Amino acid sequence: MKVDTTGLEKMLKGIQRKDMPKAARNTLRDIMKNTRKREVVEMRRVFHKPTPVVMKNLRFTRLPEVDDLSGELGFTDVLGRQGQMIINTLSPHIPGLQDTRNRKGMEVALTARGLMRADQYLVPSRTMRLDRYGNIRGSLASKMLNDIGVFTGRSGFSSATGSSKVKYIWNEVRTRSGGTVKGIWLKSKATKKSKLKLQMVVVDSKPRYAKRFRFHQVAESWGDKVAPHFARKSVDHYITKKYGR
């Protein structure tokens, strides 16, 4: 019996030259897309009510191509200042990155006017009302800075609230133990010392955060787990379906 393998050899050469590079590209793209979904699940697990904009900022900055099988998935600054804010917020929670955050806009404005030192930080008090995601609304932060008279816009203009509409004040209050508490207070509650309601407090120590978002570890372990599935899927497409075998 004689078997003619000419067609088979031609098919295998075609697969090796044309189809396998495409299969490798598609496999890696599928792995990245599936890993992104897994990272979103992880963020929902480790963070309490992460904001939608943070979830959407996890993007593909580079996808694998036939001639370049490298790809990149991460948080980007494509949203401008908002994107930088997201990176600044998440970085302290990711193992391998700095465990404290960069200075926020309110801190920069207050330091520039001499109300805070460069080594101090501003954090919400226990009585401060936060939004449903546990953050200070941008409009409220702007209102506080305007009331104090230290607001500066993106283009450099300054503004301040009229005296009759000021709701928040900058104050330093002495405590019973002899120390002081400095920060932003609610003016409507400032008629008596006992009724002062602290909103934002100045602290000397850097805020440090638990390393709970294992971004890189999750990507690596999940990618290894799903790689065989997507590899088989791509190879099946280019061999079984395309060549009818």
99-151 pLDDT tens trace: 777 788 899 899 999 999 998 999 999 888 888 777 888 889 999 999 998 88
pLDDT at residue 145 in the model: 92
pLDDT at residue 194 in the model: 52
**28 and 49, same structural domain?**
yes
**38 and 82, same structural domain?**
yes
In a domain, 65, yes or no: yes
What distance in Å separates the CA atoms of residue 41 and residue 28, rounded to the nearest whole number? 20
**130 and 94, same structural domain?**
no
pLDDT at residue 20 in the model: 83
In a domain, 68, yes or no: yes
What distance in Å separates the CA atoms of residue 153 and residue 15, rounded to the nearest whole number? 59
**199 and 111, same structural domain?**
yes
Indicate the pTM of the whole model.
Answer: 0.68
In a domain, 171, yes or no: yes
Question: In this structure, what token pair is assigned to residue 162?
Answer: 């009229």
Tokens 């305007």 locate to 146
In a domain, 47, yes or no: yes
**61 and 93, same structural domain?**
yes
**110 and 93, same structural domain?**
no
**Cα torsion angle, 198, 200, 203, 208, sign:** positive
Burial (CB count within 10 angstroms: exposed 0-12, middle 13-18, buried 19+), residue 133 = middle
CA distances from 79 to 12, 57, 114 (A): 46, 8, 31
What distance in Å separates the CA atoms of residue 167 and residue 186, rounded to the nearest whole number? 6
**223 and 183, same structural domain?**
no
**57 and 31, same structural domain?**
yes
Phi and psi, residue 201, nearest 5°: -120, 145
In a domain, 182, yes or no: yes
Phi and psi, residue 60, nearest 5°: -90, 110
Residues of the chain with pLDDT under 70: 1-17, 77-83, 153-157, 188-195, 241-245
In a domain, 1, yes or no: no
pLDDT at residue 10 in the model: 61
**198 and 109, same structural domain?**
yes
**214 and 93, same structural domain?**
yes
CA distances from 122 to 101, 118, 130, 183 (A): 12, 11, 15, 8
Tokens 């009724």 locate to 195
pLDDT at residue 243 in the model: 63
Domain carrying residue 84: 6-98+209-243
> Could you give the residue ranges of the DSSP H alpha helices within 68-214?
81-90, 105-112, 138-148
What distance in Å separates the CA atoms of residue 68 and residue 119, rounded to the nearest whole number? 45
pLDDT at residue 178 in the model: 83
**137 and 83, same structural domain?**
no
**186 and 117, same structural domain?**
yes
In a domain, 234, yes or no: yes
Backbone conformation region of residue 183, classed left if phi is above 0, alpha if psi is from -120 to 50, else beta: left
What distance in Å separates the CA atoms of residue 126 and residue 134, rounded to the nearest whole number? 12
Domain count within the chain: 2
> Could you give the residue ranges of the DSSP H alpha helices within 73-183?
81-90, 105-112, 138-148
Which residues are within 8 A (CB) of 133 and not within 5 positions of it... i.e. 6 or more apart?
Answer: 49, 50, 51
In a domain, 115, yes or no: yes
pLDDT at residue 218 in the model: 95
Kindly give the pairing relationship between strand 168-174 and strand 180-186: antiparallel
Residue type (1 letter), 132: R
What distance in Å separates the CA atoms of residue 121 and residue 105, rounded to the nearest whole number? 11
